[in-house]
A and B are shown apart, each in its own frame.
Chain A
Amino acid sequence: MSTAAGLRHDLLWQKVTIAIPYVWLLVYFLAPFAIILKISLADPVIAQPPFTPFFDSQGDITATSDNYSFLLTDKLYAVTYLKSVFMALVATLLCLALGFPMAYGIARADESTRNLLLLLIVLPFWISFLLRVYAWMGLLNNYGVINNVLMWLNVIDKPIAFMYTDFAIYVGLVYSYLPFMVLPLYATLERMDLDLVEAAQDLGARPSQAFWDVTWPLARPGVIAGCLLVFIPAMGEYVIPYLLGGPESLLIGRVLFDEFFVNRDWPLASAVAIVLLLILVVPIVFLQRSQARDAEGHA
């Protein structure tokens, strides 16, 4: 076989290797967004499928911005978006407050304990998300474990209504997304040169000053990555507000789900999704940038 033919042959398999996943993602990841955008501009009808086609029988475009103007005028949606952002933010900060000292402690543990502690952070990832949320139902119930223990200890004489409150949602969010916070924080803290903290102390910084002058600014990439990894999925969360939150806890993921399955208003659900996506585009791009920078830093 001549070298030229050999090279062409080599290029062919490279092309195939790229093309298969590329086409798959174009069809099953990118195209759906075009469709969602299209349907968000349609009117709902009682039919199968329940929306007007993009082109009518004359071939004219039948786009309408009704869904978006409805989203903007109906106060319920604005409030829901804002509340989702707020709750996701609070959950993110709670994760950070709990996750940072944990990641710090793990990064500074000796090596064999460190691996075990890390494993215990990762392990819940592998156990069903749904069942982990479910576990809290048994704890937070009016007749659940926490109330039983508190009453047995005579701290309270009536059960506290934990379930179906925002508190329960926060517990669920922090519980589910804590590992997403701890892992990137751990990665940056573990890489950090401990000499730097000692150098700061040697130059006259008390331990708390050394933390804020050196450890915290150097951990920033991990803090940013962790916060985004918690905030983004928390924004669209459906299971946690459904199972732990009350019927009033209208978070946007749940509204989208209900709009689609309960009201069967596909165009409006699509519009809700598009607006949610617009809110999340900035943090998502930010996250991808920081991860790309991180990957370069390693190379």
Chain B
Amino acid sequence: MAGNGASSTPFIEIRDVSKYFGDFAAVDSVSLTIGKGELFSILGGSGCGKTTLLRMLAGFEVPTKGRILIDGVDITEMPPYERPVNMMFQSYAIFPHMTVEKNVAYGLEKEGIPREEIKRRVGEMLNMVQLGAFAARKPHQLSGGQRQRVALARALVKRPKVLLLDEPLAALDKKLRERTQFELMSIQYKLGITFVVVTHDQEEAMILSSRIAVMDKGRLIQVGTPKEVYEYPNCRFVADFIGNINMFEGTVVDVDGDRVRVNCKDAGGELVALSDSPPLAGSAVCVAVRPEKIFISQNEPENSEDTRLAGVVEDLGYFGNLSLYRIRLEGGRIVQVSAQNRRRSAERFLEWDDKVFISWRPRSAVLLTD
């Protein structure tokens, strides 16, 4: 589903948008285009500006500067009630004094749609989110998951051009969250509506999205498919924010084509990484390697292309499908390594204080300069 619309024509255009609250730049010169039918996530920690950006798309905040266009129409200053955009609130914001049916019908009533049609569309929508039997209930009689679906139905029934979702899964427990993720994706696929999701949960963003925008301190840091953002982070922040990663700070020793050798004191050896735009020798860089990209063995690996380092097992954790190791290198620093438990064995492969070697291929490592 990742390919769904990722390459289509711009549908939402955010042009150099900033939002200031007093002197504080909540959103700082963000430019972004989102294609029609995309399931696009804006990912970042709290206070990174993602919610402010979403609220400017919804019309609750007006940008201090910049323009926002949807489907070619400038909506920068259009009030929320005139926008072809609907939002699913983090709190769900279900009207407590109205039944489920009334909640879902509310938006259509404000459009002045005939009663008959409202009834039909609300019924269809409630069936789609599997709440047909709950139409007459009041919100306080619903579970968390059901309330989430009411909020979704209420926003979708208006057939918006864009659906905004503010932390859509944050209020659900883990099991329900996993199920709902896939429901959201299939509804989005079925209706073809552009979804813009704001989330702080990188796992959620990875699973749901066709593309992800990572934000920090009001700025857009990186935009790409989940794979791009995970495998090719463009800076230390993104590498660190998404997934687990080992980061080795060091200085470039020499550059041979796209091969860069980096000296890292606390790793106790030289590291090799590939780079399209290699830095100059002597400059400070960071070599980042994901734990699952590292091999672990008790015999010294032979391939001389690879980075090889020696250490001892400091700590290990068994997670069933995989095991996580913390290896203390000779230089003193700790490296996280994860390994699939492919073999079924009562005995552990490695124990505490075992001497081990870790290694990785040059193209498994990412060279970060900022």
Given contacts A195-B89, A209-B110, A213-B106, contact A201 B95 (CB under 8 A): no
- Bound Cα distance from A169 to B213, whole angstroms: 64
A203 close to B60 (CB less than 8 A): no
Chain-A contact segment, one of B25-33, B79-87, B246-254: B79-87
Residues of A within 8 A of B50 (CB): none
Q: Does chain A have a CB within 8 A of B45?
A: no
Q: Does chain B have a CB within 8 A of A202?
A: yes
Q: Does chain A have a CB within 8 A of B158?
A: yes
Within 8 Å by CB of B93, from A199, A204, A206, lies: A199
With A200-B95, A200-B106, A204-B111 known, 9 other A-B pairs at CB within 8 A are: A195-B90, A195-B91, A198-B58, A201-B59, A202-B59, A203-B154, A203-B158, A204-B81, A206-B79
- B94, chain A: closest CB distance, angstroms: 8
Residues of B within 8 A of A204 (CB): 81-82, 107, 110-111, 158
Q: Does chain A have a CB within 8 A of B97?
A: yes
Residues of B within 8 A of A199 (CB): 87, 89, 93-95, 154
Report, as a range, how many residues of chain B touch the other chain.
20 to 34
Q: Which of B59, B89, B90, B154 has the most CB of A within 10 A?
A: B89
- Bound Cα distance from A11 to B86, whole angstroms: 60
A205 close to B110 (CB less than 8 A): yes
Q: Does chain A have a CB within 8 A of B96?
A: yes
Q: Which of B81, B85, B97, B106 has the most CB of A within 10 A?
A: B81
B106 close to A202 (CB less than 8 A): no
Q: Does chain B have a CB within 8 A of A217?
A: yes
Residues of B within 8 A of A218 (CB): 96-97
Look across to chain B and name the residue whose beta carbon is closest to the beta carbon of A214.
B95
- B142, chain A: closest CB distance, angstroms: 16
- B10, chain A: closest CB distance, angstroms: 23
B107 close to A203 (CB less than 8 A): yes
Given contacts A199-B87, A201-B80, contact A193 B93 (CB under 8 A): yes
Q: Does chain B have a CB within 8 A of A156?
A: no
Within 8 A of B (CB), among A185-211: 193, 195-196, 198-206, 209
- Bound Cα distance from A214 to B106, whole angstroms: 11
| Residues of A contacting B: mostly | helix
Residues of A within 8 A of B85 (CB): 202
A201 close to B89 (CB less than 8 A): no
Look across to chain B and name the residue whose beta carbon is closest to the beta carbon of A210.
B81
Residues of B within 8 A of A202 (CB): 58-60, 80-81, 85-87, 155
Residues of B within 8 A of A201 (CB): 59-60, 79-81
- B120, chain A: closest CB distance, angstroms: 18
Given contacts A198-B60, A213-B106, A218-B96, contact A203 B86 (CB under 8 A): yes
Q: Which of A198, A200, A203, A204 has the most CB of B within 10 A?
A: A203
Residues of A within 8 A of B111 (CB): 204
- A248, chain B: closest CB distance, angstroms: 45
Residues of A within 8 A of B106 (CB): 200, 203, 205, 213
Residues of A within 8 A of B60 (CB): 198, 201-202
- Bound Cα distance from A295 to B309, whole angstroms: 66
Look across to chain A and name the residue whose beta carbon is closest to the beta carbon of B96.
A218
Look across to chain B and name the residue whose beta carbon is closest to the beta carbon of A205.
B110
B89 close to A206 (CB less than 8 A): no
- A113, chain B: closest CB distance, angstroms: 16
Residues of B within 8 A of A193 (CB): 91, 93
- Bound Cα distance from A209 to B85, whole angstroms: 18
Given contacts A201-B80, A201-B81, A206-B81, contact A196 B93 (CB under 8 A): yes
Within 8 A of A (CB), among B56-72: 58-60
Look across to chain B and name the residue whose beta carbon is closest to the beta carbon of A209.
B110
- B77, chain A: closest CB distance, angstroms: 15
Given contacts A198-B60, A200-B106, contact A205 B81 (CB under 8 A): yes
* A238-277 vs B, Cβ < 8 Å mask (1 yes, 0 no): 0000000000000000000000000000000000000000
Look across to chain A and name the residue whose beta carbon is closest to the beta carbon of B154.
A203
Q: Which of A198, A202, A205, A209 has the most CB of B within 10 A?
A: A202
Residues of A within 8 A of B96 (CB): 196, 218
- Bound Cα distance from A199 to B150, whole angstroms: 13
